[in-house]
Amino acid sequence: MGTCSPTDSRRCPDATSCYCWQRWASLHYCSSGRTWWTPTSIWLWFGEVGFRGVWVTVLLTRVVIFIAVALVVGGTVFLGTIYLSHRR
């Protein structure tokens, strides 16, 4: 592994080619088929196959878990700040 010679372009690409490669990879990832599965399309698909109740359960579970974690973290931070502010 050591240092690179200036003529070894495989191991030491210039900054422009690295930037172009990263830009291409991020655009390729964002434009892949993953963006087709939006919440609306999932909602419609579950309704089409007769399992819309499953998707409602998934959404409600995620919302409840988010609220529970937010309350626990917020409560911990709140109690921690109260404890630290009254400590002598």
Residue 41 has pLDDT above 80, yes or no: no
What gap in Å lies between CA 43 and CA 35, rounded to an integer? 15
Residue 5 has pLDDT above 80, yes or no: no
Report domain extents, the chain: 15-86
Query: DSSP per residue over 29-41, as a string?
Result: HHTSGGGG--HHH
Residue 87 has pLDDT above 70, yes or no: yes
Q: What average pLDDT does the structure give for the chain?
A: 76
Q: Tokens for 6, please give them.
A: 């200036």
What gap in Å lies between CA 71 and CA 78, rounded to an integer? 10
pTM of the model: 0.51
Instruction: Please tell me the predicted confidence (pLDDT) of residue 26.
Output: 65
Of 80 and 45, the one with more pLDDT: 80
Instruction: Give the three-state DSSP class for 20.
Output: helix
Q: What is the residue whose two structure tokens read 């964002």?
A: 30
Q: Tokens for 81, please give them.
A: 């700040």
